[in-house]
Amino acid sequence: MTQEETVGELLQHARVAKGLSREALALELKLPLRHIEAIESDEWAALPPGRSRPLARQLAHRLGVDLEFHTGAFQIVPGVRELDPPDPRQERLERVVMGLLTAASALVVVWLVVPGPSLGRKPAPSYLTTLPKATLPAPPPPSTAAYPVLGELLPESPLNEQGVLVSLRAMDTCDVRIEPQPETGGQALARTLRVSEPWRLRVKGPFVLILDNAGVVNVEVAGRHIAHGQSVGEAWTGRFDGEGRWLRPVLPVLPKGPPVPDDVEDGIRP
C-alpha cells in the first residue's frame, strides 16, 4: 500500500485480488451496482446521506480489508465517526465502582439519621439518671419579700433567725453606723460606703441606723425601701425594731391658738 491510496482504491485492489467482479460482489452483498462503483471511485456524494461509512465498512469486511489499520484513509470518508464498541472489562469496572459508591452513600445516610445508641454507642452517663431521686436537693421556696435583693438568683429572706437583712448602696461617699440596742448585747458597726460597694448585713434585734450623707444612700431594711427623704450632705438617723419596721418619730401636735379677728390687716395681731 502506498500513502496515496484511498479507501476506494484499497477496496478495488482487494476485490481484484480475490477475483471478484463488481456485479458478483453487488449480488452477494445485495447492494446496487452503482454503490460499489461509487465507493471504488471515492465518489461519496453519490451515496445516500449517512451511508458512506457503513457501506465502506460492509464492503471492507467482505474483502478482508482492515480499515482501522488504514485510519488516515478512512478519516477522509464523510460521515459521523462511529463510536468504538464498549469494552466489557471497562463496563464491569464501572459497575463495581458504582456499587461501592452506592453502598458508601447508604452507610453515610444511616449514620446521619439513626441515633447513636442504635449504632452500638452508649450515651454518656448523667447525674440525673444515676443519682436516686431522694438525693436531689429540693428547690428553695419562692421569696415573699416585697423588694427582692438585686444580683441574686433567689433573694434572701428579709428576716430569719440571724436577724434583719439590711442592704445599703451608695452613689457617693457616706459614713454609716449601726448601733444595736443595749439589751441585745450587740456591738456597734461602722463603715464608709463608696460607689459600687454595697453593704449587706444582718442585724439582730432593734437597732439605730445613722448616715452622715443620707441623700446618696439607698436603704433597704427587711426587704422594704426606706424613703428617708434626706438630701445630699444631710445626716439622718432611723430607728428600727427587731422585725425591721421603721419606728418613725411622732411629731408633737401643736395646740391651736385663739381665732384671728377679721379686722386684722397684713397678718399683724393687735
Examine the pLDDT at 74 and tell me if it is beyond 80.
no
Annotate 165-223 with DSSP letters as a single string.
EEEEEESS-EEEEEEE-GGGT---EEEEE-BT--EEEEE-SSEEEEESSGGGEEEEETT
pLDDT mean across residues, the chain: 78
- Of 52, 74, 96, the position where a domain reaches its end is 74
Percent of the residues in the chain that have a pLDDT greater than 70, as a whole number: 73
> pLDDT at position 267, please?
46
- Residue 179, strand partner residues: 208
> pLDDT at position 130, please?
55
> pLDDT at position 269, please?
47
| Listed range (37-46, 85-94, 200-209, 237-246) with the worst mean pLDDT | 85-94
Is residue 220 situated within a structural domain? yes
Residues 6+ apart with CB under 8 A from 122: none
Is residue 100 situated within a structural domain? no
CATH number at residue 32: 1.10.260.40
Examine the pLDDT at 131 and tell me if it is beyond 70.
no
Is residue 259 situated within a structural domain? no
Is residue 251 situated within a structural domain? no
Domain span at 169:
159-240
| Listed range (74-83, 138-147, 226-235, 246-255) with the worst mean pLDDT | 138-147
Is residue 50 situated within a structural domain? yes
User: For the chain, what is the domain count?
Assistant: 2
Per-residue pLDDT band at 50 (split at 50, 70, 90): confident
- Of 74, 95, 117, the position where a domain reaches its end is 74
3-state helix, strand and coil shares in percent for the chain, rounded to the nearest 5:
35, 15, 50
**Each residue of 184-233: pLDDT tens digit?**
777 888 989 888 788 898 988 788 989 998 888 899 998 899 988 888 88
Q: Tell me the three cell numbers of residue 63.
A: 474483502
> pLDDT at position 144, please?
56
> pLDDT at position 101, please?
93
